[in-house]
Amino acid sequence: MSQSQQSTAGAEGNENEFQVSSESDESETEAEQQTNEQAETPNPNPTPSSAEGDGSQALKKRKRTSKVWKHFKENSKKEVHCKYCKRCYKTVNSGTTSHLLRHLKSCGKYKRFIGNTSGLIPINESGDGAVEAASPLWMNGKWDPMKDRELLANVIVGHELPFLFAEYSLFHKYMKYNNPLHQKVSRTTITKECIKVVESEKDKLKKVFQNVDRISLTSDCWTSNRTVGYMCLTAHYIDEDWNLQKRIITFKDLSPPHSGEVISDAILEAIRKWGIEDKIGTITLDNASSNDKAAGLLRLSFEARDRLHFLGYFFHIRCCAHILNLVVQDGINKIEKYLSAVREGVKYLKKSEGRLVKFGEIATQLGISTKRALCIDVKTRWNSTYHMLDVAIHYKKAFKGYALRDSNFEWLPEDVQWDQAEKVCILSKLARDILCIPISTVASESAFSAGGRILDDYRSSLKEDVVESLVCGGDWIRANMRAELQTLQHAANVEEDLNVQIPMSQLNIN
């Protein structure tokens, strides 16, 4: 028989009616091998052969090339069932398997089985409904639940979310939609994972410090709303690419009183833990008598170990921002009588929700945008005075309109008071620009935040060591994200000759 006749005979054999066997997968494999042997020496007029044993007659089976058959088992002449969920489907005479593929794509037990073994089987549906070995259904390779848990811990630490976030039902529903293999993680488990992530980031930072020649420190102390005292210690250094970097290395609770001895001991302990005793060049502290004493004790400690750099001339740098604050506050005190009317007027309006609503209606009638909220200043923070005056000046006409409608409003500023308020705003803007200098403790104070963003009621209730891990770890993770974005920007500018600008909102990751 010629080769062309053999091919024709083989094609005719493949066009025979498809019949499902009742045997197991092993029997199916043997039958397929037998069919292949018959295809090599075909009969021009193929006839069914008689089966021995139970006396039943079996039709010659068409060779199966679809990968989908590996996931289904025959249980009757016209039915197959999924090996994972046991759902039954009827076979089709034409031999099409598109309906089986559709089931496999939506079978939850199959997805879980694949996630725990060797990854998804790469199968794809062609245009004619057949199933071929091609691209994967979802992704190649094995899904790693531990990596999923690690990334979730990075999200919680980096974005300062509560540990309970991992148990949020809507979050779990969202993750399940994107990845059916995702499993809910308990609060206890994710807490341990977050600590593990922070420890990993800490080890990386220690290796970075080993290649740094000099480190400058800034520190500040603060008391939480639960009367727990904290000290934040921030390290500033130049990396190997000559970029100025800063990392929070300690966020430690301090036992009262916050004396110079307590502060110096806490700083020395942190320096020893990080192994950077030989690298400290300067330290910047707030202007307070306790900090002056702490700086003196630290200087003596470094001198005794012969680790004082620059002959100690620049060891203690006083916080320029706090010095500037004293200057600005002294100037504000000179015009306090002009500012009191604005301050008391804002207090009067904010004491009643009805007054604020009425004030907003008047502003809208006068064509003034109401997106900015009235605020009261804090005397110890001159920049809050600037914000109070800046917003009040924005609503200057609204104040006059409200005074005409409320006879109890006695704090309408006079024209001379408005003029002085505008001058204070100009002075405050100049002072704000000077605050850009790095010789201040602002970097350490930002860990506490003027509005209590980090140490809110929830985080203030946590254990002190957990608070330190979250604050430090979040700072490190966000710094890494900023560095990655800047690296991508540099690569695009250099390699692709593109001028890619990353928005500051992306670099200042919250």
Q: Are residues 169 and 217 in the same domain?
A: no
Report phi then psi at 332, rounded to 5.
-65, -35
What integer pLDDT is reported at residue 181 of this predicted model?
A: 79
What integer pLDDT is reported at residue 290 of this predicted model?
A: 86
Q: Are residues 163 and 178 in the same domain?
A: yes
Q: Please check whether residue 351 is in contact with residue 409, taking contact to mean a CB–CB distance below 8 angstroms.
A: no
Residue 211 CB neighbours (<10 A): 9
Task: Return the closest-CA partner of residue 116 out of 142, 148, 136.
Answer: 142
Quote the DSSP letter at residue 248: E
Q: Are residues 341 and 428 in the same domain?
A: yes
Q: Which domain holds residue 428?
A: 325-434
Q: Are residues 255 and 159 in the same domain?
A: no
Can you read off the two tokens belonging to residue 95? 């031999």
Rg (CA), the chain: 37
In a domain, 221, yes or no: yes
Task: Report strand pairing: 229-238 vs 124-125.
Answer: unpaired
Q: Tally the C-alpha atoms within 13 A of residue 457's C-alpha that lie toward its C-beta.
A: 0
Q: Tally the C-alpha atoms within 13 A of residue 473's C-alpha that lie toward its C-beta.
A: 26
Contacts of 415 (CB under 8 A, 6+ apart): none
Per DSSP, which regions of 134-290 are E strands? 215-223, 229-238, 244-254, 280-285
Helical (H) or strand (E) element with 444? helix 442-445
In a domain, 507, yes or no: no
What integer pLDDT is reported at residue 205 of this predicted model?
A: 92
In a domain, 396, yes or no: yes
Q: Are residues 302 and 257 in the same domain?
A: yes
Residue 24, SS3 per DSSP:
coil
Q: Are residues 279 and 360 in the same domain?
A: no
State the residue for tokens 């750099």: 309
Q: Please check whether residue 252 is in contact with residue 231, taking contact to mean a CB–CB distance below 8 angstroms.
A: yes
What integer pLDDT is reported at residue 486 of this predicted model?
A: 66
Residue 148: exposed, middle, or buried by beta-carbon count in 10 A (0-12, 13-18, 19+)?
A: middle
Task: Report strand pairing: 244-254 vs 229-238.
Answer: antiparallel
Q: Are residues 300 and 337 in the same domain?
A: no
Task: Return the closest-CA partner of residue 223 out of 472, 455, 469, 465.
Answer: 455
Residue 188 CB neighbours (<10 A): 10
Which of 404, 420, 447 terminates a domain? The answer is: 447
Task: Return the closest-CA partner of residue 269 out of 223, 233, 241.
Answer: 233
What integer pLDDT is reported at residue 29 of this predicted model?
A: 38
In a domain, 153, yes or no: yes
Q: Are residues 372 and 412 in the same domain?
A: yes
Number of domains in the chain: 4
In a domain, 41, yes or no: yes
Q: Are residues 21 and 89 in the same domain?
A: yes
In a domain, 505, yes or no: no
What integer pLDDT is reported at residue 389 of this predicted model?
A: 86
Residue 32, SS3 per DSSP:
helix
Which of 177, 198, 219 terminates a domain? The answer is: 198
Which of 82, 99, 116 terminates a domain? The answer is: 99
Q: Are residues 164 and 215 in the same domain?
A: no
In a domain, 500, yes or no: no
- Sign, CA torsion 167/172/174/178: positive
In a domain, 456, yes or no: no
Q: Are residues 167 and 150 in the same domain?
A: yes
Q: What is the CATH number of the domain that holds 245?
A: 3.30.420
Q: Are residues 335 and 249 in the same domain?
A: no
Residue 332 CB neighbours (<10 A): 19
In the sheet with 79-82, reading across from the earlier edge strand, the strands are: 72-74, 79-82, 88-90
Question: What's the angle, vertex CA 295, arms to CA 198 and CA 238, rounded to 5?
Answer: 50
Question: Mean pLDDT, 10 residues at a time, over the chain (510 residues)?
Answer: 43 36 37 41 42 43 71 79 84 76 82 55 39 37 78 89 90 87 87 91 91 88 72 88 86 84 92 90 84 89 83 79 73 76 89 91 93 81 78 91 91 83 74 50 46 48 72 83 69 56 47
Please give the span between the terminal C-alpha atoms of the chain, in angstroms, as a whole number.
Answer: 77
